[in-house]
Amino acid sequence: MLRFARSIIDTVFGRKRPLEEEEEENTLAKKQKLDNVLHRVRVSNLPQIDYASLKKFLKAQGYTRLKKAPKWNYCFITVNNEEEAMECVKKLNGHTFKKNELKAEYDPTSEVEYRERFSKKNKEQADPNDTRTSAEKLADQVTPFWRLDYEQQLVKKNRHGVKALAALKKKLAGFCDDKTKHQIGWARDRGMLPCELLPVIGSPVLQNYRTKCEFTIGKNLNNEPTVGFLLGLYREGIVAVLEPDECLIVPETAKKIAKYMTDYINASDLPVYDRVEKKGCWRTIMTKTPSTGEVLILIQMCSTDVPPERVQQEKADLIEFWQEKSDISVTTLLFQEWNGSSNGITDKAPIEVLTGTGYIHEELLGLRFRLSAHSFFQINTPATEILYSKCAEWCNIDSSKKTTLLDLCCGTGTIGLTMAKSVDKVIGIEMVPEAIEDAKINAQLNNINNVTYYASRVEKAMHHVKNERNEEIVAVLDPPRNGVHPSVIGAIRENSRIERLIYISCDSKQAVDNFTALCRPQSNKYKGLPFKPSRAVTIDLFPQTEHCELMVEFVRIKEEDYQEEEENGKEQEEENQGEQK
């Protein structure tokens, strides 16, 4: 307490000067900093590919400092000096990448010019006729559906499912090879959707439901240190931060934590991190506040300009500060030093446990789950219970058969564990080893013994499934927002033991490619018999926002179905031709 009081006195009677920068060891980096030059190479005429593929290509060429916006057909590569820049131009100019001949040119800029351009862009995008208050702007950014009543929100969310299923049917129409098109005869009927879309299911809670929040530490519109949310997108030049006091989806405990952290950094002589200049100390704070009442706080600092002994002192001050808060019982306090350019909590730097065990717990459908800072867990627990219960219902476990549930991209094991009592065996596959360790511990916490986990890529672990002796295998796939790699879909299709798949998507637009790969006719890449959608439903886990979950049941087409599918397809084509005449 005395240390914190002294820091307040320092603030009131004269804020200390920011710490002097330590001398750079790298002379090239030092010269670049003194000259205030950013040595960049502009690479244009890029093919239309995803960012990950471009990053992989440039990394193979020896370049890792890359900047590219989604709509750009060019990118910028940053190097240490002009000599390296010219070498980069020589290497990439005229190079053929994905059938495109690249154009590379040296395009240096000063740090001052870069910041001014960033600030100018922000001002240009400000609408002079915008009469919204700051709180309304933040609400439109974080909770864009807040102005709509909930029934209207559900109508809009259900359209996501309609568009995704309609897009699937449209994509399948492009597969017209005479030898295989009979495999998708079901997709040629006149209906807009390829399967039944059931009535949308809403969330039982509409506000204060978000159990995980990540707050930016920056400055508000009055240039005061603040903990909260950015008022807009950083890539659009918006860097002002507003406190989350009026944000509908943030729980009260998280709001208190943000306010207390604002008090702490205002009393500190260490500056907040400036995202444009990439200088400063306090960067991000993450909270996890599950229904059990436990609290996890993770504070992130940039320590580039802070001596190690001062970092240690800040850790001690943070421990003392949070232990004195009688209205918030912090279960575990964590700390991360991150000096990289990317913003937000990262898995590229270690997390240090300051107090507690580093873990908290959440309860779901009668089970207890251990959560770490990086553990994925749905942020709306009551709505998640509805989603998982509906998934279990659709899995339609036949008690007369010995059944294996295949939990793909299982994360910390939530879906498989909640269904473990209804099946003979659960197999969970997840490529993140830390998540698998959490899943094993969660199984032990709940005395569940019929689960086996593999820390592996799905396609590499699929042979374990082929050796299963149980009569029926039901698969559940709950992938990240951008879906799974085509090789995963290929592995699912190639395993003939899997006759039914429940796909849970949190971004149906991005899932369409996966849906198409599941249903398209056989090919060298997709050797197994195709699936077809049998039913789908939209379930809302994110009230006040545009996001929702789309759950689709896919069943595999059997050889004996082909004749019927082919005949139905021919009849439909003849009927359509007759109508055209």
Q: How confident is the model at residue 379 (pLDDT cuts 50, 70, 90)?
A: very high
DSSP single-letter state for residue 336? E
**Distances, alpha carbon 344 to alpha carbons 64, 239, 297, 298, 481, in Å:** 19, 14, 14, 11, 18
**How confident is the model at residue 377, as a pLDDT?**
93
Q: Which of 2-16, 106-120, 364-378 has maximum average pLDDT?
A: 364-378
- Put residue 110 in one of left, alpha, beta given phi > 0 → left and psi -120 to 50 → alpha: beta
For the CA atoms of 483, 486, 488, 492, what is the dihedral angle to 10 degrees?
Answer: 110
Was 575 annotated as part of a binding site? no
Asked if 425 contacts 453 with a C-beta cutoff of 8 angstroms, the reply is no
Helix (H, G, I), strand (E, B) or coil at 453: strand
Cβ burial of 513 (10 Å; 0-12, 13-18, 19+) is middle
Residue 66, pLDDT score: 87
The domain made up of 376-392+401-558 is a member of CATH 3.40.50.150:
yes
Digit-coded pLDDT (tens) for 545-578: 999 999 999 999 987 766 555 555 555 555 655 5
Q: How far is CA 486 from CA 168, 405, 411, 475, 515, in A?
A: 16, 22, 19, 17, 10
The pLDDT of residue 276 is 81
pLDDT confidence of residue 29:
46
Mean pLDDT of 233-243: 73
| Residue 494 · residue 524 · CB < 8 Å | no
Instruction: Render pLDDT for 138-155 as a digit per residue (tens, 0 to 9).
Output: 999 999 999 999 999 999
Angle CA 124–128–133, to nearest 5: 110
Q: For residue 327, is pLDDT > 80?
A: yes
Query: For position 562, what pLDDT does the model report?
Result: 62
Mean pLDDT of the chain: 86
Known binder of ligand: residue 478? yes
Q: Which of 213, 410, 506, 548 is catalytic?
A: 506
Higher-confidence residue of 489 and 182: namely 489
- What single-letter DSSP state applies at residue 112? H
pLDDT digits (tens, 9 = 90+) for 190-204: 788 999 999 999 999
Please list, residue by residue across 383-412, b when 16 or more beta carbons sit within 10 angstroms of its beta carbon and e when fewer do: bbbbbbebbbebbebeeeeebbbbbbbbbb
Q: How far is CA 214 from the centre of its chain?
A: 13
For residues 229-238, give the mean pLDDT: 69
Q: Are strands 498-505 and 549-556 parallel, antiparallel or unpaired?
A: antiparallel
> Tokens in use for 38?
């950013």
Lowest mean pLDDT among 105-119, 362-376, 477-491: 105-119
What span, in angstroms and rounded, lies between the C-alpha atoms of 343 and 380? Answer: 24
pLDDT at 573: 57
CA distance 293 to 328: 10
For the chain, the maximum distance between any two Cα atoms, rounded to a whole number of angstroms, is 90
DSSP, collapsed to helix, strand or coil, labels residue 296 as strand
- For range 253-280, the mean pLDDT: 94
Q: Is the pLDDT confidence value at 328 over 90?
A: yes
Domain with CATH 3.30.70.330 in the chain: 36-117
**pLDDT of 64 over the 50 cut:** yes
Mean pLDDT over 356-366 rounds to 96
The residues of the chain that CATH labels 3.40.50.150 are 376-392+401-558
8 Å CB contact between 36 and 111:
yes
pLDDT of residue 235: 54
Residue from 91, 63, 80, 75 nearest 28 by CA: 80
pLDDT digits (tens, 9 = 90+) for 421-477: 989 999 999 988 888 999 999 999 999 999 999 999 998 888 877 777 767 889 999
b/e sequence 43-63, b meaning 16+ C-beta within 10 Å: beebeeeeeeebeebbeeeeb
- The CATH T-level fold of domain 212-364 is OB fold (Dihydrolipoamide Acetyltransferase, E2P) (2.40.50)
Percent of the chain with pLDDT over 90: 63
| Known catalytic residue at 176 | no
pLDDT at residue 152, rounded to an integer: 97
pLDDT at 105 > cutoff 80: yes
Cα distance between residue 165 and residue 552, in whole Å: 9
Q: What type of residue is 150? A: Y
C-alpha to C-alpha distances, 236 to 114, 117, 276, 287, nearest whole angstrom: 14, 11, 12, 26
Q: What whole-number distance in Å separates Cα of residue 34 and Cα of residue 90?
A: 26
Residue 430 marked as a ligand binder = yes
Q: What is the pLDDT of residue 24?
A: 40
Which pLDDT does position 414 carry in this prediction?
A: 96
Per-residue pLDDT reduced to its tens digit, 497-528 = 899 999 999 999 999 999 999 999 988 889 88
Q: Residues 243-257: pLDDT tens digits?
A: 999 999 999 999 999
Q: How far apart are CA 24 and CA 91, in angstroms?
A: 29
Instruction: Return the CATH fold of 36-117.
Output: Alpha-Beta Plaits (3.30.70)
Query: Which among 469, 532, 565, 548 has a CA at the least distance from the CA of 158?
Result: 548
Can you give the pLDDT at residue 567?
A: 58
The answer to whether 494 and 514 are in contact (CB under 8 A) is no
**Average pLDDT, integer, range 145-173:** 95
Query: Is residue 56 scored above 50 in pLDDT?
Result: yes
Average pLDDT over residues 286-305: 97
Give every CB contact of residue 292 below 8 A, 6+ residues apart in sequence. Answer: 360, 361, 362, 363
Q: What's the pLDDT tens digit per position in 2-39?
A: 454 444 444 434 433 334 344 444 444 444 444 468 89
Better-predicted residue by pLDDT, 28 or 206: 206
Q: How confident is the model at residue 72 (pLDDT cuts 50, 70, 90)?
A: confident
Three-class SS state of 105: strand
Label the pairing between strands 74-79 and 37-44.
Answer: antiparallel
Distant-in-sequence, close-in-space partners of 523: CB < 8 Å, separation ≥ 6: 180
- Closest by CA to 221, choosing from 126, 300, 344, is 126
CB atoms within 10 A of CB 440: 17
Domain with CATH 2.40.50.1070 in the chain: 212-364
Question: For position 400, what pLDDT does the model report?
Answer: 75
What number is the average pLDDT over the span 105-116? 74
CB of 239 closer than 8 Å to CB of 119: no
